[in-house]
Amino acid sequence: MSTLIDILLLSLMGITALAAVRMKSLFGAVMLTGIFSLLSALWFLILDAVDVSFTEAAVGAGISTVLMLGTLSLTKSEEKTSNHSQIIPLFVVFVTGGVLIYGTLDMPDFADPLAPIHTHVAPHYIEKSGAEIGVPNIVTSVLASYRGFDTLGEVTVIFTAGVGVLLLLGIGRRREDGDE
């Protein structure tokens, strides 16, 4: 029964992405990207990824959209038509997509409980985290403890982004002298 929801959601996502890609108005495209990440948040929910969905809803639909609007407000909100040849990009995209589809042919079936990822490392987290960490949310246990170092890296990434943006733009209060 959730197959129907799957298909409906995925087709919504497809339409949104297609429209976002085709749209000349950058503003419209940004809005549609917001919708797209919102839909993917819904899709994550259906796949039981509550935390991911939470993050995607907050980041994709919130912060990313605001930042993109901030950029558009400083630049231009209309895309120009380019007269590039589209053949090479199309070729690259088709080859990449083809390789990926070739790869899906031997993938474990969608939601197959016997797939390797459900039998190898993950059971440890599910079975032992209650006793070892004592935190109900397994995602938090894995994120902060079992793979805590990844999360340290993640914080470092966001810190890097902060440093980078500060390096590029300077902070906050507008200064009348440029900070080139």
Partner 1 sequence: MTHHFILRVITKLLIPLILLFALYVQFHGDFGPGGGFQAGVIIAAALVLYALVFGLNTASAVIKEWVLLVLIPLGVLIYAGVGVASLLLGGNYLDYNVLAHDPVHGQHLGILLVELGVGMTVAAVLTTIFFAFAGRGHRDANGNLLPHSALSDEIRNRKDGQP
Partner 2 sequence: MMFFVTVIALFPAMFLALGRAIVGPTLYDRVLAVNSFGTFTVLMIAVLGFMTDQTDFVDIALTYALINFIGTIAVLKFFVVGDFGYEEQRDQ
Partner 3 sequence: MIAHLPALQIVLPLIAAPLCVLLRTTRLVWLLAFAVTVASFGIAVELYSQVLQYGVISYAMGGWAPPIGIEYRVDQFNALMLILITAVATVVLLFARTSVAKEVDQRRQPLFWAAWLLCFTGLLGIVITGDAFNVFVFLEVSSLSTYALIACARDRRAITSAYQYLIMGTIGATFILIGIGLLYMLTGTLNMADLAARLPGVTESRTLKTAFVFIVVGCSLKLALFPLHLWMPNAYAYAPSAVTAFIAATATKVAIYVMLRFFFTIFGADFSFGAMPLGQVLMVLSVIAMFSGSLVAIYEQNVKRMLAYSSVAQIGYITLGISLATTTGLAAGMLHLFNHAMIKAALFMAMGAVVYRLGSCRLDQMAGLAKQMPWTMAAFVAGGLSLIGVPLTTGFVSKWYLVNAAFDAGWTIIPVAILGSSLLAVIYIWKVVETAYMRLPPADQKPVQEAPLALLIPLWIMVAANFFFGIQGNLLWQSVLQAARQLSGEI
Indicate whether 54 belongs to the interface with partner 3 (CB under 8 A): no
The CA distance from 147 to 143, in Å, is 5
The CA angle 140-66-70, to the nearest 5 degrees, is 140
> Residue 144 contacts by C-beta under 8 Å, 6 or more apart in sequence?
151
Indicate whether 4 belongs to the interface with partner 2 (CB under 8 A): yes
Task: Choose the stretch contacting partner 2; rule: CB under 8 A; options: 35-43, 85-93, 106-114, 156-164.
Answer: 35-43
Specify the DSSP class assigned to residue 179: -
Indicate whether 70 belongs to the interface with partner 2 (CB under 8 A): yes
> Residue 54 contacts by C-beta under 8 Å, 6 or more apart in sequence?
41
Smallest distance, Å, CB 72 to partner 2? 7
- Interaction residues for partner 1, span 36-65 (CB under 8 A): 50-51, 53-55, 58-59, 62-63
Q: Are the C-beta atoms of residues 79 and 25 closer than 8 Å to each other?
A: yes
Residue type for position 125: Y
Residues near partner 1 (CB under 8 A)? 24-25, 27-28, 50-51, 53-55, 58-59, 62-63, 66-67, 70-71, 73-74, 76-78, 131-137, 139-141, 143-145, 148-149, 151-152, 154-156, 158-159, 161-162, 165-166, 168-180
